[in-house]
Structure 1
Amino acid sequence: MSEELYDLRKVIDELKQEPGEYHETDVEVDPNAELSGVYRYIGAGGTVERPTAVGPSMMFNNIKGFPGDRIYIGSMASRKRVGKILHHDYQTLGRFLKNSVDNPVAPVVVSEKDAPVQEVIHKATDADFDIRKILPAATNTEYDAGPYITVGLVLGSNPDKSMSDVTIHRMVLEDKDTLGMYIMPGGRHIGHFQKEFEKLNKPMPITINIGLDPAITIGATFEPPTTPLGYDELNVAGALRQQAVQLVAAKTVDEKAIARSEYVIEAEIMPNQTMQEDINTNTGKAMPEFPGYDGDANPAVNVVKVKAITHRKNPIFQTMIGPSEEHVSMAGIPTEASILELVDKAIPGKVTNVYNSPAGGGKLMTIMQIHKDDEADEGLQRQAAILALSAFKELKTVILVDDDVDIFDMNDVMWTLNTRFQGDKDIMVLPGMRNHPLDPSERPEYDPKSIRFRGMSSKTILDGTVPFDMKDQFERAKFKEVKDWQKYLD
């Protein structure tokens, strides 16, 4: 195969050429809580417990209990690094992804000889088969329900194979051939397909693809209405790279796998079967989720039976910390693209950029940069916020700022809320709406008046834009433009 084909290894080779973006270590690390504990300090960022930092991605070459295996973490734990990976300005990644959705490049199927992920094959019928010994899956904390697959892309189809798609779910290793998979109700295409199989009382064949080019992972996290049912999000990765994602027929299930993955788990989601997520620990906890809190163990996750594991020679197991900035990149940038798609159609030219910041885990908060040309534009900023909230139910807070504000600098955003904002007139609260069930404040005990059932929320719009007729009273201090300022640093 051509060395120009993109996969995780090519991305790592490129990051090695960028100062500060990649580091590897041969010091032994325990995948049980220690690895995440180490990376928490070095490069996790996001909503991880402080102290944390934005730092290099890391390869751990010496994994306790898994001689010869290695774990990679942090490829997407910096927006600037994602920009380098995708060869695009990090500040306009939302528009880049939006354009990729609109100009899809479909995946292609290749033969086994062109699929490095099938270099090594372990079948569940083998006497010594045990996923817990083959997969060096990490636990984020000492309280997790078990080792989790956190960056595993689930590929599946509907029963008649007329539609296929990919999504990411949390999956815990339960025993030697069983995973527990949490499929959040509503919105995810894999969940829709699985319900169709369940009605037929048939197991749903899937592949779980681990160790991927981040273009595939990020492209796979779109949701309706941007990518409606029937839209295969592997098309987005193809467009981002201008190179079709390569698929290969799985060995033991009737489904495709991503040919240049590091690992593929071939499995079936069992119909009408569930199990306790923390059956092995009984801690009541699943794993840390993107809002920064430990997710509650689900009493009834889907049962996934593993049929085989295939992998490359000397494979790289990819993982992430649940609340780290990797989640912001995976979930936030596609949401930015989706918001831009919506507002560009409804009120073109008025929303210049959008940022889903780490403070909201990529899902709960968006900052919208607004441009007003004349007095007729006054009020459109709030229309834009309501559009975003209505289309993307997981958004909880929208902050509106003018186009002289750097939306990627939270000091600048908070500055506008301190100098262009009055709480009694610039806050809009929309109670009793639907949101993400992982936000622990969204429970009836917190606010019995507006939260009837868990997962409901009040949504808030903070309008920090200057009224158009007062713009001349809010001009920032103007400094001299110095073109060659960098010479003073030489």
Structure 2
Amino acid sequence: MVKELINSIEKVVLENATKKYGISRILKENDGKPVFIKNVNGYRVIGNLCTRDVIAKSLGIEKEELMKHMVETLDNEKNGELIVDNNLNSTYVDDSLEKIHEYPIPTYYGKDAGPYLTSGVVIVKDKDEGVNASIHRILVRPDGTLTIRMVEQRHLHYIYNKNIEKGDVDCAIVIGVHPAVLLAASTSGDLTFNELKYASALMKKPLKLVKCKTVDLEVPEAEFIIEGKLTKEFVDEGPFVDITGTYDMIRKQPLIKITALRRKEEAVFHALLPGGNEHKILMGLPQEPRMYKGIRNTVPSLKNVALTEGGCCWLSAVVSIDKKTEGDGKNAILAALAAHPSLKHVTVVDHDINIYDQNDVEYAVSTRVQSDSDIVIISGAKGSSLDPSSDLKNKLTAKMGIDATMSLLKGKEEFIRAEVPKDDE
């Protein structure tokens, strides 16, 4: 599944690299462009895979259709179909547990605590809530155990705390999965939300699952499968780089004991650069449909929403509307900030502005904004813990909205850009 996608996309192809800093150096130099490395310690590696273009291509749609497709699919997530394919087991090779140190798991930056799994989708199951799939950074320790950064208030954290007193919790980590699985695993929903069914709905076809050998789980078909047990033991995790490209703190986090390692023949390992564009896309893209639905309830003429790469696809957004009344721009600002509480800055533009072109957005700000009337500033709001400039102790930040839409009071004729006719007169 992943191999077919790799063969079909435009990419930078390199012969070899080292696990320690070599992979990350290459991914950093080619940030935003898919990279395929033929040999890293005897394995093949793909990185910078999930761009908007590649995700759309993997789903069989155009990039411009991606937002609409996600919004529609979120409303029909339960229609996804999961199939356990027992024939897939024969396509996997069993490795000894010591092989974890031979896998091409990168050490990305100079102060990292060690090699990190960054693209692994973690699968757990609860008898009441069902299956949960989510992405977490996972440190590979010298003794072959793992440490997972488990974010509070997330479903994995909830399932872990609910079940750990009864004993170790079965888990599996899948690496090298279809982009739909990565996108779904990055999407937040309520406890009934089934990420794997959502992935199937995004793909418009059944998602094939593989039965694990040492834990009671079925997982999406992947290049690598790591089976294990989440334990009560807590050990140091970090330091490690977060989405802003700055270091996160060291915390005590749960230890995972590996029970099985399995991989495809000639498996391709997916290395996801922390703080790179792929990291930002996978964090931000799933938020956009939620923002779209929230803003549309307030401004029905909403056209599109994008969390910007310069804003780490988390802290800044651009919203496109077909302005009908003079207050629409400011209403869209307030609705956007409410729909994505981590949002710090939002710019609202008319639908003639390309929200994916920062120069076009800056043009709107430069020619359609008066700072004393078109900028909204909110002080003392709850912000994102990922913003290093915020008041981290009290978790407060200042938020700003820019209404960069054309003034209806002045008249749109003053703002319309000249166009060259398509045909000679």
Sort the TM-score into its range (normalised by shorter chain). Answer: over 0.9
Residues 7-46 of structure 1 correspond to what in structure 2 (within 5 A)? 7-15=1-9, 21-26=10-15, 28-41=16-29, 43-44=30-31
Equivalent residue for 1:358? 309
Residue 298 of structure 1, CA deviation: 2.1
Aligned residue type for 1:408 = Y
- Residue 421 of structure 1 pairs with residue 369 of structure 2: yes
Residues 444-468 of structure 1: per-residue CA shift (max 9 Å, x gap)? 5xxxxxxx52x43222111112232
- Contact conserved, 2:290 with 2:339, CA < 8 A, in 1? no
Residues 210-225 of structure 1 correspond to what in structure 2 (within 5 A)? 210-223=175-188
- Residue 370 of structure 1 pairs with residue 324 of structure 2: no
Equivalent-residue separation in structure 2 for 1:348 and 1:425 (angstroms): 20
Do the aligned partners of residues 473 and 298 (structure 1) sit closer, same or farther apart at CA in structure 2, a change above 3 Å counting? same
- Residue 482 of structure 1 pairs with residue 422 of structure 2: yes
Residues 117-146 of structure 1: per-residue CA shift (max 9 Å, x gap)? x6112354xxxx35222x210121122111
- Residue 276 of structure 1 pairs with residue 236 of structure 2: yes
Do the aligned partners of residues 154 and 107 (structure 1) sit closer, same or farther apart at CA in structure 2, a change above 3 Å counting? farther
- Residue 146 of structure 1 pairs with residue 134 of structure 2: no
Query: Which structure: greater strand fraction?
Result: 2
Do the aligned partners of residues 122 and 411 (structure 1) sit closer, same or farther apart at CA in structure 2, a change above 3 Å counting? same
Residue 100 of structure 1, CA deviation: 1.4
Equivalent residue for 1:281? none
* Secondary structure class of the residue paired with 1:360: coil
- Residue 74 of structure 1 pairs with residue 48 of structure 2: yes
Do the aligned partners of residues 39 and 240 (structure 1) sit closer, same or farther apart at CA in structure 2, a change above 3 Å counting? same
* Secondary structure class of the residue paired with 2:167: coil
Equivalent-residue separation in structure 2 for 1:181 and 1:474 (angstroms): 56
Residue 397 of structure 1, CA deviation: 1.2
State the Cα RMSD in Å: 2.1
* Secondary structure class of the residue paired with 1:61: strand
- Contact conserved, 1:97 with 1:240, CA < 8 A, in 2? yes
* Secondary structure class of the residue paired with 2:284: helix
* Secondary structure class of the residue paired with 1:276: strand
Aligned residue type for 1:30 = T
Equivalent-residue separation in structure 1 for 2:66 and 2:58 (angstroms): 11
- Residue 253 of structure 1 pairs with residue 215 of structure 2: yes
- Contact conserved, 2:82 with 2:197, CA < 8 A, in 1? no
Do the aligned partners of residues 140 and 429 (structure 1) sit closer, same or farther apart at CA in structure 2, a change above 3 Å counting? same
Give the one of 63, 66, 70 matched to 1:90: 63
Residue 22 of structure 1, CA deviation: 1.9
Do the aligned partners of residues 474 and 266 (structure 1) sit closer, same or farther apart at CA in structure 2, a change above 3 Å counting? farther
Equivalent residue for 1:234? 196
Aligned residue type for 1:339 = M
Number of corresponding residues: 423
Aligned residue type for 2:303 = T
- Contact conserved, 2:85 with 2:208, CA < 8 A, in 1? no
Equivalent-residue separation in structure 2 for 1:400 and 1:411 (angstroms): 14
Equivalent-residue separation in structure 1 for 2:161 and 2:370 (angstroms): 48
- Contact conserved, 1:177 with 1:307, CA < 8 A, in 2? no
* Secondary structure class of the residue paired with 1:399: strand
- Contact conserved, 1:165 with 1:190, CA < 8 A, in 2? yes
Residue 483 of structure 1, CA deviation: 6.1
Aligned residue type for 1:25 = L
* Secondary structure class of the residue paired with 2:172: strand
Do the aligned partners of residues 111 and 101 (structure 1) sit closer, same or farther apart at CA in structure 2, a change above 3 Å counting? same
Residue 24 of structure 1, CA deviation: 2.5
Residues 51-450 of structure 1 correspond to what in structure 2 (within 5 A)? 54-55=32-33, 57-63=34-40, 66-67=41-42, 69-76=43-50, 78-104=51-77, 105-115=79-89, 119-122=92-95, 124=97, 129-133=98-102, 135-158=103-126, 160-186=127-153, 188-198=154-164, 200-223=165-188, 227-258=189-220, 260-271=221-232, 273-278=233-238, 285-286=239-240, 288-293=241-246, 295-344=247-296, 346-347=297-298, 349-373=300-324, 377-443=325-391
Gap runs ≥5 in structure 1: 1-6, 16-20, 45-53, 279-284, 445-451, 485-490
- Contact conserved, 1:152 with 1:209, CA < 8 A, in 2? yes
Q: Bigger shift: 472-481 or 352-361?
A: 472-481
Tell me the TM-score normalised to structure 2 length: 0.93
Aligned residue type for 1:189 = H
Residue 473 of structure 1, CA deviation: 4.8
> Percent identity over the alignment?
24
Residue 149 of structure 1, CA deviation: 0.7
Equivalent-residue separation in structure 1 for 2:371 and 2:415 (angstroms): 21
Gap runs ≥5 in structure 2: none
* Secondary structure class of the residue paired with 1:469: coil
